[in-house]
Amino acid sequence: MKWQKKWEEAKLFESEPKEDQEKYFVNCPYPYMNGYLHLGHAFTYLRADMVSRYQRMKNKNVLFPFAFHCTGTPIVAAAQRVKEG
């Protein structure tokens, strides 16, 4: 709790995106709970994390929402709303 409090006070997990920075989006699916985690999971998450960090070092505005996943009917409906304006 000590370190979490310090991190919270320092606003370590907050960011202030700058309008003049190029945007870069990385998405990584969450693991499904139909089996044990294995090395392949680590490989997937490590690649996404490394790419995100690299792009931040290149001064890009990186959004990496870990485990944000939306497919199927909800995404089709959202795309249709965007298309219709």
Position 21, amino acid: Q
For residue 75, give the amino acid letter: I
Residues 28 and 45: beta-carbon distance below 8 Å: yes
Please report, for residues 14, 51, 56, the alpha-carbon distance to residue 24 in angstroms, rounded to integers and kept in the order given.
Answer: 17, 10, 9
Consecutive sets of 10 residues in the chain, 85 residues long: mean pLDDT of each?
Answer: 88 80 86 81 90 93 76 78 89
- 63 touches 23 (CB < 8 A): yes
The pLDDT assigned to 49 comes to 92
pTM over 0.75: no
